């Protein structure tokens, strides 16, 4: 197989070829590393490439195939890890000058360990903005990560390195994190699949406040099947994440989704959240997706309920968290921190105790409002973003987003409004490509499901993927 085709082969297909001894893990990893050498200077998607370790693990993977040893579902498949999660032997720099000289991590994060146990080969750490702070991926120490579809556009954030790498064929799987849309936004910008799981189904042991957590770890992949396999590998309780200890099996598929006919399935279409505008090309591609499900028998209904999307209260929770969590670094590092981090911290310091508690109460109200929708609907569908990827120079702290020539708010209000509400409610949400915008950049649709119903959400997405295939598209260069 030519390297150009191998790089865009799905993870599950590559794993099957490896099991049948038709693909060498060594040759596979070498092809990916060679592509990284070419693409890293133009895209800037990695902060660490673990070439020698990856080659050594590939040789071990090949020996396991030859010896007939038991093989995991991702045996020999390259994966990269967002640089907010620990990989043993490599520093976790968090996109910040503060941690550029951090010592190598002593242990793998639990999710990295699970991926390795499934046979995956870690090839490097992908870029993130400082502390995963915004919807674009750039940082003072690591520079700008660019979108492989258009180098003048952002790859999204904060898992922009992972999404861009997957889109460019630099490993079929990336592990991202999502605190306010940080898996789904980059997936939408880069034309890949990104899953934010249900709160607790995939442990997130690095959360500063486990009980009030709204940050998730999830897969970025080119196909829904790849995302589903990666997700299945990572599920299950872990001792340091209280939400993961419930012990529920979240992988059961609803019987009505087993076939390709969706009679009886009800879709609640939400055209707007807090955002007053959405681009015409995004709306058209979202409608085409809804039409595809309707053609399979699903009933589509626009949600007209007056929902308070708690945009203000969400900012209170987000920015106050930055203000308190990173205050310890200001005296020494302020001049080397991202101005966006500093702006969020300053705004967070302006909120009081009553603001914060009222925001927490609002989170409960939002959860209950979404739960009430699921009394009527099997899935909620929205665009993932209001428009295609923003310019790489966009100022996420101060600049207003422009949609079809009209400016109307900063990123949380004007671009990513569909994402953060479901971090706060904890429901599973997946972004998958819906087409191309008029500027040639990808657009995306978001599917939100019942609490714990990731398998249903992924199956529903897979049906759209079959009706409107996407993975055959490759960015130029």
Known catalytic residues? Answer: 82, 158, 182
Collapsing DSSP states into helix, strand and coil, what is residue 22?
Answer: coil
Tell me 88's DSSP state: B
Collapsing DSSP states into helix, strand and coil, what is residue 436?
Answer: strand
Residues in the chain: 477
The Cα 437–Cα 446 span in angstroms is 16
Edge to edge, what strands does the sheet with 216-221 contain? Answer: 46-49, 121-126, 78-82, 173-178, 216-221, 193-196, 429-436, 442-449, 379-383, 266-269, 299-302
The Cα 30–Cα 66 span in angstroms is 19
What are the beta bridge partners of residue 220?
Answer: 174, 194
CB 144 within 8 A of CB 235: no
Q: Cα–Cα–Cα angle for 413, 378, 111, nearest 5°?
A: 70
Tell me 319's DSSP state: H
Closest of 310, 302, 309, 317 to residue 273, by C-alpha:
309
Return the H-helix or E-strand segment holding 55: helix 51-67
Judging by beta carbons within 10 Å of its beta carbon (0-12, 13-18, 19+), is residue 380 exposed, middle or buried?
A: buried
Note the Cα 308 to chain centre separation in Å. Answer: 25
Composition of the chain by helix, strand, coil, percent to 5: 40, 15, 45
Pairing state between β 216-221 and 193-196 = antiparallel
Q: Write the DSSP assignment of 226-238 as a string of letters.
A: HHHHHHHHH-S--
């Amino acid at each position: 197989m030519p390297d150009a085709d191998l790089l865009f082969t799905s993870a599950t297909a590559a794993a099957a070829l490896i099991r049948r001894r038709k693909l060498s893990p060594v040759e596979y990893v070498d092809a990916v590393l060679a592509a990284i050498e070419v693409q890293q200077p133009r895209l800037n998607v990695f902060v660490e490439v673990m070439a020698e370790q990856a080659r050594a693990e590939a040789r071990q993977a090949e020996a396991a195939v030859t010896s007939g040893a038991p093989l995991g579902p991702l045996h020999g498949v390259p994966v990269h890890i967002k640089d907010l999660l620990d990989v043993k032997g490599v520093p976790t720099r968090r996109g910040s000058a503060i941690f550029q000289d951090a010592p190598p991590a002593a242990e793998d994060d639990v999710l990295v360990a699970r991926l390795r146990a499934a046979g995956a080969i870690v090839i490097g750490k992908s870029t993130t903005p400082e502390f995963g702070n915004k919807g674009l991926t750039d940082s003072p120490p690591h520079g700008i990560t660019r979108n492989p579809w258009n180098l003048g556009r952002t790859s999204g954030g904060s898992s922009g390195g992972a999404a861009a790498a997957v889109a460019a064929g630099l490993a079929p799987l990336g592990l991202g994190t999502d605190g306010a849309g940080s898996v789904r936004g980059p997936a939408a910008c880069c034309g890949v699949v990104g899953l934010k799981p249900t709160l607790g189904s995939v442990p997130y042991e690095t959360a500063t406040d486990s009980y009030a957590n709204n940050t998730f770890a999830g897969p970025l992949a080119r196909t829904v099947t790849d995302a589903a396999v990666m997700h299945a590998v990572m599920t299950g309780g872990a001792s340091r994440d209280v939400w993961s200890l419930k012990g529920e099996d979240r992988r059961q598929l609803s019987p009505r989704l087993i076939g390709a006919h969706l009679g009886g399935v009800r879709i609640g279409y939400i055209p707007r959240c807090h955002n007053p505008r959405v681009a015409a090309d995004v709306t058209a591609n979202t409608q085409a997706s809804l039409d595809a499900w309707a053609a399979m028998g699903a009933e589509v209904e626009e949600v007209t309920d007056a929902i308070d999307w708690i945009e203000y209260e969400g900012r209170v929770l987000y920015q106050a968290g930055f203000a308190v969590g990173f205050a310890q670094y200001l005296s020494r590092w302020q001049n080397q921190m991202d101005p966006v981090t500093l702006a969020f911290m300053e705004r967070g310091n302006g909120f009081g105790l009553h603001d914060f508690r009222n925001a927490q109460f609002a989170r409960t109200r939002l959860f209950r409002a979404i739960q009430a929708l699921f009394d009527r609907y099997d899935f909620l569908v929205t665009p993932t973003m209001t428009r295609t990827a923003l310019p790489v120079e966009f100022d996420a702290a101060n600049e207003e987003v422009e949609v079809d020539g009209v400016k109307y708010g900063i990123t949380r209000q004007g671009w990513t409004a569909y994402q953060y509400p479901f971090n706060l409610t904890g429901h599973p949400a997946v972004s998958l490509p819906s087409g191309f915008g008029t500027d040639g950049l990808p657009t995306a649709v978001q599917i939100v499901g019942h609490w714990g119903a990731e398998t249903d959400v992924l199956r529903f997405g897979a049906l759209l993927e079959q009706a409107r295939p996407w993975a055959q598209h490759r960015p130029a260069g």
